[in-house]
Amino acid sequence: MDFKAILMGFGFALMWASAFTTTRIIVLAAPPLTALVIRFALSAVIAVLLARALGQSFRLSRGEWRTVVIFGLCQNALYLGLNWIAMQHVEASAASIIASMMPLIVAFLGWAVYSEKLRPVAVAGLVAGVIGVAIIMGVRLQHGLDIPGVVLCLIGVAALTVATLAARGASGSRNMMMIVGMQMAVGAAALLPFAAMMEAGRSVQWSWALAWSFLYTVLAPGIGATWLWFMLVNRIGAVRAATFHFLSPIFGVAIAAALLGERFGASDVIGAVIVAAGILMVQLARIPPTPQPSSSAVLANEGRD
């Protein structure tokens, strides 16, 4: 993994984690699905215009269109839609911890459904992740954690898992920004009827905090993080790219505490670090070892020197 990939991974994790804080600000002031439809629509327009300026085409391959549809429905409509509804009642830090479980769920489902073998380090990582989440959520339950909201977040993270796997369908695409824009459009179209039915007539509490949070959410997590994720997957593969999710629980809790004044007790710090360590252990265990050159290949290379 080269230095550029590391920077891309850190950038993605930071933007992805920060989205929970700005989302919390938005959904406390505006109808969540309506705001999300507007965000997707603006992100789609900006991304498509950027794609056209870069010479990218609307003509996508079958695999790219499959990625657009699955990513647009699973990540945007389901994952973000459910999270934005839930975060009217669930703190940003708690939602970020739940979402960060995605790599652990991927590894567990691979073992439970597809009979994939787990190395001992991966098993230890899964256990650590569960313990870390239990520490954080156990203490927060005593402080009034909203259970229905948590359930919505859990359903959302299951959809995010599917969306993450679908990102591999765009591997090597020259139309990466166009794919980002089109999957935003799919999310907007999918949520529009639900926003119209569920949130008609709801008021908006306008403020500068709402304005900058919305603008940041459109540009950074909406376009920037999604584009970085696709580029990172193309550069180092989905498994290695997902390794950077270990930063998300730490960033998510810290940013929510700094900007929203959310709870940041010892249990949150300890739990976030344990979850991060568990994610890192699982992802490192899933990365295939670098093949070593055979002795004949070494001798052949030496013969050319």
Q: Within 13 A of 218's CA, how many CA atoms are on the CB side?
A: 19
pLDDT band at 167 (very low <50, low <70, confident <90, very high): low
> Which of 251, 254, 248, 225 shows the shortest CA–CA distance to 11?
225
d(Cα 222, Cα 7) in Å, to the nearest integer?
19
Quote the pLDDT of residue 249.
87
For 73-129, the pLDDT digits (tens) are: 998 999 999 999 999 999 999 999 998 888 888 788 778 776 778 888 988 989 999
Q: Is 281 within a domain?
A: yes
Task: Return the DSSP state at 144.
Answer: T
Q: Is 296 within a domain?
A: no
Q: Is 300 within a domain?
A: no
Collapsing DSSP states into helix, strand and coil, what is residue 269? helix
pTM of the predicted model as reported, rounded to 2 decimal places: 0.83
Q: Is 304 within a domain?
A: no
Does the structure show a pLDDT above 80 at 293?
Answer: no
Number of structural domains found in the chain = 1
Query: Is 282:109 a contact under the CB 8 Å cutoff?
Result: no
DSSP string, 60-100: --HHHHHHHHHHIIIIIIIIIHHHHHHTTTS-HHHHHHHHT
Q: Is 293 within a domain?
A: no
Query: Is 170:179 a contact under the CB 8 Å cutoff?
Result: yes
Q: Is 199 within a domain?
A: yes
For 131-144, the pLDDT digits (tens) are: 998 898 888 887 78
pLDDT band at 2 (very low <50, low <70, confident <90, very high): confident
Residue 11 sits in which domain range? 3-287
